[in-house]
């Protein structure tokens, strides 16, 4: 096993996609996501997007979280086709076989990008370079739209379903309201790009004991 399925993995996949598509020359990025807090809807995605703005290649990034139970994205149809094809397989022995199944799940084919362990970065470490401040009007998890702009390199704008919104500053400093200009330190806060991202993993990950036990129980059916 080379990785897990948390925010580090989701953000690393976003970075990989940008690496493969940056030649398209776009300056503004819109990300559509579901409301999974463990993967998509969390501060680590916001920090990753702030870092992308600090790199200077993008002018703005907007994260649109779909309304739970009232939304359907085009990729959902593809996911359904993949699940149906996997159910028809009696035996799947390797990850490569999964990749082949996904590639051929739809009539037009599905592009599969194979991530290696070197592609996964520890995005969570970015949290140590900012001061965590929460929205005051509503919970972060109640946000639907998150907007980031290079004109406000240390803030994000959050809006909920009812239209209430506010800016939240993550600039390094004391918790509380953002510092006034005259009170800010003379030396600027180092950008999130001041140091390279660290790899999330350096060795293959071990399966936990419960997973190994479950696999051993299935060995009788092989």
pLDDT in tens, 145-191: 999 999 999 999 999 999 999 999 999 887 766 666 665 656 677 89
pLDDT at 68: 77
C-alpha distances out from residue 132 to 63, 92, 128, 170, 193, Å: 19, 44, 9, 6, 18
Q: Is the pLDDT of residue 67 over 90?
A: no
Q: Which residue has the higher pLDDT, 212 or 130?
A: 130
pLDDT for 61? 98
Query: Does residue 134 carry a pLDDT above 90?
Result: yes
How many Å apart are CA 207 and CA 127, to the nearest integer?
27
* pLDDT at position 75: 87
Residue 122, judged by CB atoms within 10 A of its CB (0-12, 13-18, 19+), counts as middle
What would the mean pLDDT of 127-152 be, rounded to a whole number? 96
Look up the pTM and report it. 0.88
DSSP conformational letter for 148: E
The pLDDT of 199-204, averaged and rounded, is 94
Residue 87 pLDDT grade (very low, low, confident, very high; cuts 50, 70, 90): very high
What one-character DSSP code corresponds to residue 121?
B
- pLDDT tens string 6-50: 999 999 999 999 999 988 889 999 999 999 999 999 999 999 999
- Whole-angstrom distance, CA of residue 132 vs CA of residue 148: 16
> Which pLDDT value is given to residue 93?
87
Rounded mean pLDDT of the chain?
91
pLDDT reported for residue 182? 61
């Amino acid at each position: 096993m080379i990785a897990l399925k948390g925010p580090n993995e989701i953000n690393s996949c976003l970075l990989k996609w940008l690496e493969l598509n940056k030649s398209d020359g776009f300056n503004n990025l819109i990300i559509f996501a579901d409301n999974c807090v463990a993967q998509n809807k969390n501060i680590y995605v916001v920090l990753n997007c702030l870092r992308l703005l600090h790199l200077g290649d993008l002018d703005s990034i907007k994260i649109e979280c779909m309304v739970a139970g009232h939304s359907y994205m085009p990729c959902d149809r593809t996911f359904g086709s993949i699940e149906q094809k996997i159910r028809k397989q009696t035996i799947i022995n390797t990850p490569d076989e999964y990749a082949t199944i996904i590639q051929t799940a739809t009539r037009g084919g599905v592009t599969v990008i194979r991530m290696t362990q070197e592609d996964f970065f520890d995005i969570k470490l970015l949290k140590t370079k900012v001061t965590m401040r929460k929205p005051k009007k509503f919970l972060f998890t109640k946000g639907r739209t998150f907007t980031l702009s290079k004109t406000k390199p240390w803030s994000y704008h959050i809006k909920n379903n009812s239209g209430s919104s506010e800016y939240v500053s993550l600039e390094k400093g004391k918790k509380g309201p953002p510092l006034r200009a005259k009170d800010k330190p003379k030396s600027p806060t180092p950008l999130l790009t001041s140091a390279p991202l660290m790899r999330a993993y350096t060795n293959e990950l071990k399966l936990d004991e419960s997973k190994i036990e479950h696999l051993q129980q299935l060995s009788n059916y092989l």
